[in-house]
Amino acid sequence: MNPIPYGKQHITEEDINAVIEVLKSDYLTQGPTILAFEHAFAQYIGAKYAVAVSNGTAALHLAALALDVKDGDKVITTPITFAASANCIRYCGGEVVFADIDEETYLLDIEKVKKLLEASPKGTYKGIVPVDFAGKAVDQEAFRELADEYGLWIIEDACHAPGGFFIDRNGDKQLCGNGKLADLSIFSFHPVKHIATGEGGMITTDNEELYKKLIKLRTHGITRETSLFENTPEFACGTESEVYPGWYMEMQALGYNYRITDFQAALGLSQLKKADKGLQRRVEIARKYDNAFKDVAGITSQLNELTNEHSGHAYHLYVIQVENRLGLYNYLKDQQIFAQVHYIPTHLMPYYREQGWKEGDFPIAEAYYKRCLSLPMYPSMTDEQQNYVIEKIINFVNS
Ligand SMILES: *Cc1c(COP(=O)(O)O)cnc(C)c1O
């Protein structure tokens, strides 16, 4: 049996040819393939606008900048996420305030967030960064209501959840990142995620003003749009003139170079065509794990209320909790099965401990961390491989 990782990209001949085609074209970056990828992704997610960037962390940083996060701004997020969900606030000088997770879904617990908000005068907090952890969609309808009550913005970290959704109170499907509820949503195209571009990320929104800000911030804060220029044509030309010269551009904000390349966008565009198929396969794998473990005492899976043919869960990860996590992890490793842990609670990373967070702050997240393990989950995993994984896990837990 070949080594079985917890996650892995699936690159086809078609993907490779799409990249080669762009490599032979005039544009390696800032070309038409980026726009094509953005349009296709926005359509897939059901959002009006999409801005492709160099990675998911850059997407988070730009989102925080576009929402004007400043020194001392307090923003709430979950401790059970990749550190970047919190770090983006620190990049802008803001202060991260963690709130505990729900015991069964492992998502940021809205009741805990409510308590935080109620305990301080309105205006204390600026925003919330909920995470569609493992691919399970956060109830953005509930978070939107709460955010509106307190005048907060929402950045949805949807890195785990392209194609994921929840059902709102009208019975409508709300796809993660569709721009209807969160102000901005962000995605990553790291190879372990659903769509791989090597490095890459995307921000989606329905807000035109934020979209325009993001476009500018992605490329140094520079604009080439005549209608937006602040200096006069006369200044721009260096002589009397009514029109701006061809070379002219303006840097209007402190932006970055967070661009993605056209050949990465070509890979993304090609990968996107298979996204639905990949998601279907992920759901299939999850159902098989569900069935294999449902009667095994000692294994708890992440709660997902919707268990019809399409579960709403995008299954970036399949997470279980077991008593002897270290034992199981090592046992699986000896069998060439490389499970992983998601995540070491962010508030207990040395960097965040320095900001005053400590053990005992979030008992549910901390208890979860002691028992959690992410099992192999990727579309190209074969039935044979999954059977082997299941057999080994059950062997271990029953011994
Ligand atoms: C992967 C990931 C990121 C960061 O994405 P990169 O593309 O690796 O920078 C942020 N948040 C979550 C939840 C992620 O899983």
Find out whether the beta carbon of 138 lies less than 6 Å from any atom of ligand 1: no
Which atom of ligand 1 is nearest to 57's Cα? 9
Give 241-294 as a DSSP string: -SS--TT--EE-S---B-PPBHHHHHHHHHHHTTHHHHHHHHHHHHHHHHHHHT
In this predicted structure, what is the pLDDT of residue 105?
95
Where along the chain do the CATH 3.90.1150.10 domains lie?
A: 276-398
- For residue 264 and ligand 1, the question of a CB distance below 6 A is answered with no
What is the 8-class DSSP label of residue 152?
Answer: -
Distance 239 CA to ligand 1 centre (A): 49
- 298-308 tens-digit pLDDT: 999 998 776 55
Closest-CA residue, ligand 1 atom 7, reads 56
Say whether pLDDT at 61 is over 70.
yes
Kindly report, residue by residue over 133-157, the tens digit of the pLDDT.
999 999 999 999 999 999 999 999 9
Ligand 1 contact, 194 CB (< 6 A)? no
Place of tokens 């009208």: 170
How confident is the model over 313-340, as a mean pLDDT?
A: 97
Catalytic entry in 126, 136, 193, 216: 193
pLDDT of residue 360: 98
Q: Is the CB of 80 under 6 A from ligand 1?
A: no
Ligand 1 pocket test, pick from 106, 187, 188 with the greatest ligand atom count within 8 Å of Cβ, gives: 188
| pLDDT of the residue at 1 | 73
Mean pLDDT of 227-242: 97
Q: Is residue 311 very low, low, confident or very high in pLDDT (cuts 50, 70, 90)?
A: confident
Mean pLDDT, the chain, integer: 96
pLDDT at 8: 94
Inform me whether the pLDDT recorded for 309 exceeds 80: no
- Asked if pLDDT for residue 158 goes beyond 70, the answer is yes
> Candidates 3.40.640.10, 3.90.1170.50, 3.20.20.70, 3.40.50.300; correct CATH number of 4-222+253-274?
3.40.640.10
The third-level CATH classification (topology) of the domain covering 276-398 is: Aspartate Aminotransferase, domain 1 (3.90.1150)
Closest residue (by CA) to atom 2 of ligand 1?
A: 159
**Interval 179-223: pLDDT, tens:** 999 999 999 999 999 999 999 999 999 999 999 999 999 999 999
Structure tokens at 90: 């620190």
Q: Contact, 33 vs 22, CB < 8 A?
A: yes
> Is any atom of ligand 1 closer than 6 Å to the C-beta of 188?
yes
Percent of the chain with pLDDT over 70: 99
- Specify whether 193 is catalytic: yes
Tell me the pLDDT tens digit for each residue of 338-382.
999 999 999 999 999 999 999 999 999 999 999 999 999 999 999
Which residues of the chain form CATH 3.40.640.10?
4-222+253-274
The pLDDT assigned to 306 comes to 62
Q: Is the CB of 64 under 6 A from ligand 1?
A: no
Token representation of residue 238: 């260096």
The string of DSSP letters for 202-235 reads EEEES-HHHHHHHHHHHBTTEE--GGG--S-HHH
pLDDT at 310 over 90: no
Per the confidence metrics, is the pTM higher than 0.75?
Answer: yes
Whole-number pLDDT of residue 319: 97
